[in-house]
Each structure stands twice: as C-alpha cells, then as structure tokens.
Amino acid sequence: MIGLRIVAPLLLLAACGGGAGGGDAGGGTGGPGRPGGETSTSPSSGPAISLARTGGFAGVGDEVQVAGDGTWSATDRAGGRRTGRLSGEQHAELARLATDPGLAAEAGRAREPTRCADTYAYVVTVGTVRVGFVDCPTDEDPPPVAAAIVRLVSRAAWG
C-alpha cells in the first residue's frame, strides 16, 4: 500500500509532463534546437538579444530576436517574417559581445542629438541592458560594442 502511494503521484506527474528535464508548455515534440524541444544549456549558448531598427529614408521598422542558441527571427514593419541560424563563429562572437562589460557602460552614457537625417536608429537589448543610438557617421563617440552587435545581427538577418 505504501508503494502505491509513492508510485501513483509519480505516474501522474510523468503523465502531466513534469519532472526533470521537462519539455515546453506548447506541446511541441522537437528535440534540442527544434521548436518544442529543450534549449541548450551548454557553454556555447548565449543570452537572448533583440535588435530594433527604425528610420532611414523609407522609414523602416524592423526587429530581430536572437535566441540563446543562435536562432533568429526577423520581422519587418509590414509583418513579413524571416528566420535563420547564426553560424558557429557568428554565435560565438555575438555571445562574446553580449557579455562585454562595455555594453552596460554604453547603456548608461548620454548621447548628443544626431546631426543626421534619414539614417537608421537602433536599439540593442541584452537582458536588462538597453543601448540606443543613431548610425550617423558624423556623430561623435558611437557605442562600439552595441554597433558591433548591430553589424553582426544585421548581416545575418538582413544581408
């Protein structure tokens, strides 16, 4: 009788999808790196990053979300969506940039208003750290770490 009291809750827990290494709440059936599967917790995983791009001559409004495993999803202002995966080299470099202490310093720094028109404005978010800047070649002292993240993610998602 005591054995039944121990086993029954464990069976119920297993049937509900709980327990160590559980899956996702979305009911997916994928493996690691696939929708519905577990995400990697290996040292090669990095923080989630979002990048928003606005402005320009045509008035864009684009956003890219990069997951810790290097997969990305880009959405444009019209709602068009593209997905992909960073190469191993890109992923490693992005993880390095995202954990660079200089990024937090850039977030806390005040910036002068831009002297450019029709340029892109970017907002890079890594966790709670948010850096916004305008990509104007004549603006002084652009944020180097955030700008490097923008270049890397832009090449991957927008070409």
Tell me the domain boundaries of the chain.
Answer: 49-158
Q: Which residues contact 144 (CB under 8 A, 6 or more apart)?
A: 102, 106
- Report the half-sphere exposure of 154 (CA within 13 A, side-chain side): 16
Q: What is the pTM of this model?
A: 0.70
Are 75 and 63 in contact by the 8 Å Cβ rule? The answer is yes
> Which segments of the chain have a pLDDT < 70?
1-44
For 32-72, what is each residue's pLDDT tens digit? 333 333 333 344 577 899 999 999 888 889 999 999 999 99
Give the distance, in angstroms, between the CA of residue 56 and the centroid of all CA atoms in the same chain: 23
Q: Token pair 């989630």 is at which residue?
A: 48
**Token output for 90:** 């890109």
Q: How far apart (Å, rounded) are the C-alpha atoms in residues 108 and 140? A: 16
Helices (H) and strands (E) in the chain, counts: 4, 6
pLDDT at residue 23, rounded to an integer: 33
